[in-house]
Amino acid sequence: MRLLLAAALSVAACAPLPPGSAGAGAHGSGSYSRREERQRIGSFASVQAVAVSRRYVFAAANSGIAIYDRFQERWLPPLTRDLGLAEQQITVIAGDPVEDALWIGVPGGVIMYRPLTEQVQRSIVTGVPEVIAFDRSGTGDAFVRSGGQWTRVSRVGMSTLMNGAPIAAQTFVPRSMNDLYAQFPTLRSQPQLLLRTQTPNRPLRPFALLSGAASPDRASEVWLGTDGEGLFRLDPNFLQGTPLPYGLMEPGIGALAPAANGVWAAGLGQSERRGGLTFATSDLQQWRWIEGTIAVPLVGVRTFALATRANRAWMGTDRGLTRVRLDGGNDITSWTVLDGLPDDRVLAVAPRGEGVWAGTLRGLVYVNDTSDTKAPRTRGLGARLLDNMAVYALQFTGDTLWAGTDAGLIALPSPNTAVGGTLMRPAGADPALRRAIRSLAWSDTVLLAATDDAVLALAPRGGVEPHRVQALDVLQVGRVTRVAIDERTMWLAGTEGVAMESRSSGAVRVLRVGIDLPGPVLDVLAQRDWLFLATPQGLVRYRRTADGMVP
Whichever domain contains 220, its CATH number is 2.130.10
Inter-residue contact 41 to 247 (CB < 8 Å): yes
Which residues does 182 contact at the CB level (< 8 Å), separation at least 6? Answer: none
Amino acid in position 256: L
Examine the pLDDT at 7 and tell me if it is beyond 80: no
In a domain, 75, yes or no: yes
Domain span at residue 450 reads: 438-551
Residue 86's pLDDT band (cuts 50, 70, 90): low
In a domain, 285, yes or no: no
Inter-residue contact 47 to 210 (CB < 8 Å): yes
String of b and e for 159-180 (b: at least 16 CB within 10 Å)? beeeeeebeeeeeeebebbeeb
Residue whose C-alpha is closest to residue 427's, from 447, 442, 405, 444:
447
In a domain, 422, yes or no: no
**What average pLDDT score do residues 67-93 get?**
81
In a domain, 370, yes or no: no
DSSP state of 247: B
In a domain, 196, yes or no: yes
Number of domains in the chain: 2
Examine the pLDDT at 375 and tell me if it is beyond 50: no
Question: Per residue in 38-55, pLDDT tens?
Answer: 999 999 999 999 999 999
In a domain, 549, yes or no: yes
**What average pLDDT score do residues 109-119 get?**
91
| Sign of CA pseudo-dihedral 335, 340, 341, 343 | positive
**Residue that is last in its domain, among 225, 244, 263:** 244
**Residue that is last in its domain, among 190, 213, 244:** 244
Q: Which residue did the predictor score with more confidence, 29 or 395? A: 395
| Mean predicted lDDT score pLDDT of the chain | 87
In a domain, 76, yes or no: yes
What was the pLDDT predicted at 474? 96
∠ CA 314-316-320 to the nearest 5 degrees?
A: 110
CATH number of the domain bearing residue 477 = 2.130.10.10
> Which helix H or strand E contains 323, and what residues bound it?
strand 320-325
C-alpha to C-alpha distance for 471 and 253, rounded to whole angstroms: 27
CB atoms within 10 A of CB 425: 12
In a domain, 282, yes or no: no
